[in-house]
Amino acid sequence: MPARAFARFLSSQYFGSGLLLLATALALVIANCPVGAIYHEILHGDIGFAAGSVSVHMSLAHWINEGLMVLFFLVVGLEIKREFLHGELSRASKAFLPVICAAGGVIVPALIFMLINRAEPDHWRGWAIPTATDIAFALGLLALGGRIPLALKVFLAALAIIDDLIAILIIALFYGGPIHIDPFLFAAGIMFCLFALNLMRITQLWPYLMLGLVLWVAVLQSGLSPTLAGVLLAIMIPVGDRRDISPLHRLEDALQPLCAYFIMPIFAFANAGLSLKGISLADFFAPLTLGIILALFFGKQAGIFLAGLAAARMKWAKLPEGASLLQLYGVAVLAGVGFTMSLFLGTLAFPDEALWNQARLGVICGSLLSAVVGITLLRFAKPTR
């Protein structure tokens, strides 16, 4: 990733993480004050439209989670494509460390969660919740960690991007409903049209975006998670030879601020509003809540740090230049801030309100613990030079 582009990317993540924190705090305050009932009533109110044989009706919360979040996943898909084609993940020597660390940061939390919830089959759908890293929060909090080597910031960004790619695969494979053949085939036809635009070397964005909107409706009707439409569209956006005329870069530059400053705060506001009324100490030790907390805090740091250490000791990869082991460990702890991505996976895993509240409590506590400990470690850690 060029230095100027990476600087812009970081600046949006830093400011965006502040807005996320503000939106989260506001949601928690509103959900626990007298207007909390109105807040939940508005989020669950039905909104829809019908056009011919196509009818889409969802609550406001679902429009945010499955509508607005499509744009977020479009940006994620664009970032992943760019990184693998021209960025930090384009060379195997640089990509191996974040890839192996991301794998460790998914496998170990999932194992911890399943171990704690082994006697609760109703909870098993939540195994993916603690495997996620919130790239905006993690990179934003990294700025509070003192003097951090640039290579370590790039490592965390690459790690979080691969983490998002794994989350996308998990959503596609494990969190879809029954497939409806007709809209599924229609979506495949839209993908063919997008591919044809590539073959014709069309660089205007509007044909891709118009087809992308139709693709979203088709994927929604097919039973798959509609957020996958954003990723599928990103795959079909052409890269181009020069950044200034590249459709991919133009679209990413346009959507990155929208996601960081509007969509993600709106998502946090709609999903972080956990009512604390009636919550006791025992609720923190419920298998679902405890499993997410321990998996996010202990699982993420253990999986990432040990995988990275093993890769370095076996000379499969080099650790980030200028970073000490304590700094690498602090970043591994910080990766346990799953927050928005974990909350999104929670909305897919648990439509039941009681289980969703337990999962939400676990995500908030696990992410908060990871943030506080991660920042503290990084404040005390010193670079190697």
Q: What are the helix (H) ranges across the chain?
A: 3-31, 36-43, 60-63, 69-86, 92-116, 135-142, 150-174, 181-199, 206-222, 228-236, 247-258, 264-271, 281-284, 287-294, 300-313, 325-334, 339-349, 353-380
Angstrom distances, CA of residue 99 to CA of 91, 113, 141, 163, 177: 12, 22, 22, 9, 29
Angle (CA) 164-168-169 rounded to 5° is 120
Inter-CA distances, 241 with 83, 247, 249, 257, 264, Å:
15, 10, 11, 24, 31
CA-to-CA distance for 267 and 68, rounded, in angstroms? Answer: 8
Q: Are 174 and 106 in contact (CB under 8 A)?
A: no
Specify whether the CB–CB gap between 17 and 141 falls below 8 A: yes
Instruction: Compute the residue count for the chain.
Output: 385
Structural domain total, the chain? 1
Whether 12 is in a domain gets the answer yes
Mapping DSSP onto H, E and C, the string for 183-200 reads HHHHHHHHHHHHHHHHHC
Residue 34: CB partners within 8 Å, gap ≥ 6?
none
Residue 325 lies in a domain: yes
Would residue 335 count as lying in a domain? yes
The whole-number pLDDT of residue 109 equals 97
Predicted TM-score (pTM) of the model is 0.86
Strand partners, 54: 51
Measure CA of the first residue to CA of the last residue in the chain; give whole Å: 23
Instruction: Note down the domain range covering 133.
Output: 3-176+225-380
Is residue 204 in some structural domain?
A: no
Flag whether 135 is in a domain.
yes
| CATH code at position 282 | 1.20.1530.10
The two three-digit tokens of residue 118, written as one number: 């082994």
* CA dist., res. 114 & res. 216, Å (int): 33
Q: Is residue 253 part of a domain?
A: yes
Q: From CA 312, how far away is CA 309, in angstroms rounded?
A: 5
pLDDT tens for the chain, 385 residues long, are 455 555 555 555 667 778 888 999 999 999 999 988 899 899 888 887 776 666 677 888 889 998 899 999 999 899 889 888 887 777 777 789 999 999 999 999 999 999 999 999 999 999 999 999 988 788 778 777 667 888 888 888 889 889 888 998 999 888 877 889 999 999 999 999 999 999 998 989 999 999 999 999 999 889 888 889 999 999 999 987 666 678 998 999 899 889 888 999 999 999 999 888 878 888 999 999 999 999 999 999 999 999 999 999 998 888 888 888 999 999 999 999 999 899 999 999 998 888 999 999 999 999 999 999 999 999 888 766 5
Residue 124 lies in a domain: yes
Q: What is the pLDDT of residue 1?
A: 45
Sequence-separated (6 or more) residues with CB below 8 Å from residue 85: 239
Would residue 217 count as lying in a domain?
Answer: no
Q: Report residue 47: phi and psi, to 5°.
A: -135, 135
Using alpha carbons, list the distances in angstroms from residue 113 to 120, 127, 288.
Answer: 11, 6, 8
Residues 6+ apart with CB under 8 A from 17: 136, 137, 139, 140, 141
